[in-house]
Amino acid sequence: MNTRTPVETPNSTVVLSATFNDDCSCFAVGLTTGFCIFDSDGCSLRSTRDFNAGIGLVQMMGKANILGLVGGGKQPKFAANKLILWDDLRSKSVLEISLLTPVRGVQLSKERIVVVLQNSVRIYQFAKTPSLLSSYETAHNYWGLCRLSSKRLAFPGRTTGHIQLVTLGSGTVSIIPAHSSAVRAIELSRDGALLATASETGTLIRIFATSSCARIAELRRGIDPASIFSLAFNPSGTMLACTSDKFTLHIFDVPNPKRPAQPTAADGGAGSSEGGDGKGKWGILSKLPMMPRVFSDTYSFASVPFEAGDEALVGGLPMSENTTLGTSRPVKGTIGWLNETTLLVVGAGQDARWEKFVIQDGQDGKRMVVREGWKRYLGSP
């Protein structure tokens, strides 16, 4: 007799995915029954569509009413190999792109439609009849990793651990050997000047200048391996947030030659909750010769737990080439910055939560991150 508690009841609505729009003013969630769009700041419902079938991914095009939809879940609305462009004002599909393999990710702009497949990235012209502009081969990209800015596109390279960085105007492709193991997370700053990457090991985050592909920072999330859920720069690109399956939100300073160095507690200025600029986590040990590099690495200046719900590590399948969107383990810890010091962490699943965090100066002059509010956004808090 099976005595295990079911992960979901037959009639329950489950969030299959969560994504922010370009400026993080809204976030969209794909459901087992359709999709919803919420205003980010107060988590108020903005729009909802009930298809009585699953949407595995919703990607917004800025603040416009055009959405990219991919079917998902156990009863998908659309075939896994189709991208549907949906006009939410007219409540209808206005464009369809059919592929030979399942769609893993989507990025949209007014000029381009980027479709991410397991082993390629395809760029189409945004038109009534989309034309294929270019196609790039990649290593296995189960997670659909890809980020689009106004001038650049970043996605995994053909070699494991590498990143392809495409300059959209010229079509120039740069290859960045970011990691020795498979890439697990990619993020571009809003101006496209900075690229952040993390591997499946999840201990180090590397930041590159997209203009030169030079590595400008290496940040240590921790010593133990972890699966990185999300990376996100604040609007000015001066800070980077990170979440992982350790269920901790980390905030790092990002070095930038165009701005003065952040004063540390030792300088009499605002410091960090872990010791100044994050380099003082281990105190005097970091200054001793011949010590392992983990003692001198740059750590987050502040961290705080976020809620993942009870289902975080149960139910669903691990991501693989046969996994349909929305049937793997629920996505947790998706980050969106409302402004320079306020950010949200949104999760999917049956216990889908929205949390707001604010970076503040503590009484000791050190910066800390504080949870300001939270909500189960498909039900009562």
Residue range 262-305, pLDDT digits in tens: 443 333 333 334 444 555 554 443 444 443 444 447 899 999 99
**54 DSSP assignment:** B
On whether residue 10 sits in a domain, the answer given is no
Q: What whole-number percentage of the chain has pLDDT above 90? A: 73
On whether residue 281 sits in a domain, the answer given is yes
On whether residue 4 sits in a domain, the answer given is no
* Total-model pTM: 0.87
Number of compact structural domains in the chain: 1
Pair 96, 106: CB distance under 8 Å: no
- Say which range, 19-28, 240-249, 287-296, 352-361, has the weakest mean pLDDT: 287-296
Q: Which domain holds residue 245?
A: 15-376
Radius of gyration of the chain, Cα coordinates, nearest whole angstrom: 21
On whether residue 2 sits in a domain, the answer given is no
On whether residue 7 sits in a domain, the answer given is no
On whether residue 381 sits in a domain, the answer given is no
What is the structure's pLDDT at 278?
A: 53
On whether residue 146 sits in a domain, the answer given is yes
Distances (CA, A) of 113 to 84, 95, 120, 129, 332: 11, 11, 14, 12, 25
Can you give the CATH number for the domain in which 339 is found?
A: 2.130.10.10
Q: Is 84 helix (H, G, I), strand (E, B) or coil?
A: strand
The rounded distance, in Å, linking the Cα atoms of 70 and 98 is: 11
Asked if residue 24 has pLDDT above 70, the reply is: yes
Q: Is 273 helix (H, G, I), strand (E, B) or coil?
A: coil
258 pLDDT band, cuts 50/70/90, is low
Residues in the chain: 381
On whether residue 61 sits in a domain, the answer given is yes
